[in-house]
Amino acid sequence: MPRVPRIDKPGLLYHVFARGIERRQIFQNDRDRYRFLDSLGTILTETGTAIHAFALLPNHFHLLLRRNSAPLSSVMRRLLTSYAIYFNRRHERVGHLFQNRYRSIVCQEDRYYLQLVRYIHLNPVRSAQVSLEKLANYPFCGHSYLLGNRRADWYEPERVLTRFGGPAAAGRQVYLEMIASSPQSRIALNPDDRGSNQTDNAADIRVESEQAKQGFDFKIEPIVDAVCDEMGILKTELLLGAKRRDVVKARELIVGKLIGEVGLPPSHIAKELYISKTAVTSILRRRSKRVS
């Protein structure tokens, strides 16, 4: 099947995502992560490309970029090529580092901008790389930069915070309220870390206790990831309400699995997938009609 040409125009905002080949790690340590950010910062500065959000995970990364005069394809080619060369030399490996091409989605700013910034910045918490409290100083995610705890010449928090109702102080407060309202903001630390960390947020513990009482202390990410991979879509498209046919089908598959195989209640599924409880029941109704 021929590749579909990308939309690549000045001024557009793109959510960019790239994963390691065969889901392998592309960052093995902090030195790798700092090197990636150094390369990213240099390329963004030289091309005049603005960055609004970012997060580095062990086997993939998320960027929210505003395309300037330099084509997005050129920016990403430079970034991925330079980092792959560094990584292969550093870790004595050969071959491709990234899986296929990077993925990019044009952001419909009026509808999705605030949710997308929140979604990207909560990825390290969602994947149990860091707790929400420690995210405030985590150098490999834009969250700490928006809070003013970290700074970089290539990241301007004001351009993001003004979208949350600026000036900066007011925008930061709205941003923090949105972070706190997300279901993912209540994910606890990696279970392997709980025994050694005595400073877990009390709210996290209360939420987990309530979930355990109701019988659905269950992480949906593996199911969501598996369905998105199978359908060839980005998880962002699913969680931000895209209406494309394959995304709608993926959402229906996930709801069906979470209800039929896991037994999660519709209200919990609705919160995790950023949809209404009515939407969940509508999906179930459509599925039942097809079965009958």
Q: What are the tens digits of pLDDT across the range 142-178? A: 999 999 999 999 999 999 999 888 777 888 998 998 8
3-state class (DSSP) for residue 212? helix
* End residue of a domain, out of 185, 214, 243: 214
- Average of per-residue pLDDT values in the chain: 81
Angle at CA 27, nearest 5°, toward 80 and 36?
Answer: 45
Q: Which residue has the tokens 């709210």?
A: 203
Question: In the numeric block, which tokens belong to residue 176?
Answer: 């923090």
Q: How far is it, in rounded angstroms, from Cα 179 to Cα 186?
A: 10
Arithmetic mean of pLDDT, 233-254: 83
Q: At what angle do helices 245-257 and 266-273 cross, to 10 degrees?
A: 140
In the predicted structure, residue 199 carries a pLDDT above the cut 50: no
169 shares a domain with 74:
no
Listed residue (225, 227, 211) closest to 264, CA to CA: 211
6 shares a domain with 92:
yes
Q: What is the pLDDT of residues 91-142, one digit of tens each?
A: 999 999 998 788 888 887 766 788 889 989 999 998 889 999 999 999 999 9
* End residue of a domain, out of 86, 107, 128: 107
Sequence-distant (6+) residues with CB within 8 A of 279 are 270
103 shares a domain with 121:
no
* End residue of a domain, out of 50, 75, 107: 107
Which of 32-46, 89-103, 105-119, 183-197 ranks highest by mean pLDDT? Answer: 32-46
- Give the domain extent around 128: 110-214
259 shares a domain with 208:
no
Q: Return the CATH number at 33.
A: 3.30.70.1290
250 shares a domain with 161:
no
Q: Given this model, what pLDDT does residue 262 score?
A: 67
205 shares a domain with 244:
no
156 shares a domain with 235:
no
Q: How far is it, in rounded angstroms, from Cα 65 to Cα 104?
A: 10
Residue 139's φ and ψ, nearest 5 degrees, are: -75, -10
The count of structural domains within the chain is 3
Q: Given this model, what pLDDT does residue 177 score?
A: 87
77-81, 156-160, 245-249: which has the minimum mean pLDDT?
245-249
243 shares a domain with 207:
no
